[in-house]
Structure formats: structure tokens, C-alpha cells
């Protein structure tokens, strides 16, 4: 199972779901589904999110034991 910290990091960066979505080239709904663990992002999307939020990808996602 994937644990996501995306919502917390996004809010700390002062971004809405829509603003983050626009910067990485996906829909707001995609960001919402990732934050709510409905959708597991591709490696490319995870890396884009990390780049835009200026954090390592591990700050956004981790595997549950």
C-alpha cells in the first residue's frame, strides 16, 4: 500500500489542487485521486510532482510495511 503526503506538502507550498495539476500537466481530479489513494501515480507523474513541489519523491510517497 502507498502512503501519500502529497496533500500536506501541496498545502504547505500554498498550492491548490488545480494549481498543482496545471503545473504538472494533469487534471485537478488526478491530483485529488492521488491524494485520496484512489490512484497510484506513475513514476513520471511522481517525479513531476516532486520537482514542482521542490522535494524528493520520498517526501511525497512511501510504501507501507
User: In the structure grid, which three cell numbers stand for residue 23, read together?
Assistant: 503545473
Quote the strand ranges of 1-65, DSSP E: 2-4, 61-63
36: confidence class by pLDDT, cuts 50, 70, 90? very high
- Within a domain: 30: yes
* Interval 3-21: pLDDT, tens: 999 999 999 999 999 999 9
Q: pTM here?
A: 0.94
Range of the domain at 46: 2-58
- Within a domain: 41: yes
- pLDDT exceeds cutoff 90 at 1: no
Q: In CATH, what number is assigned to the domain containing residue 32?
A: 1.10.260.40
Which of 55, 40, 45 is CA-nearest to residue 10?
A: 55
Into how many domains does the chain fold?
1
- Within a domain: 38: yes
DSSP state of 25: T
What's the mean pLDDT when you consider all of the chain?
Answer: 96
Count Cα atoms within 13 angstroms, Cβ side, for 52: 24
**By the 8 A CB rule, do 17 and 28 touch?**
yes
- Within a domain: 24: yes
- Within a domain: 49: yes
SS3 at position 50: helix
- pLDDT exceeds cutoff 90 at 64: no
Amino acid at each position: 500500500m502507498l502512503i501519500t503526503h502529497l496533500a500536506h506538502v501541496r498545502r504547505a507550498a500554498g498550492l491548490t489542487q488545480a494549481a498543482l495539476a496545471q503545473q504538472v500537466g494533469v487534471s485537478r481530479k488526478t491530483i485529488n485521486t492521488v491524494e485520496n489513494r484512489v490512484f497510484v501515480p506513475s513514476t513520471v507523474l511522481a517525479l513531476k510532482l516532486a520537482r514542482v513541489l521542490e522535494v524528493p519523491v520520498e517526501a511525497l510517497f512511501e510504501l507501507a510495511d
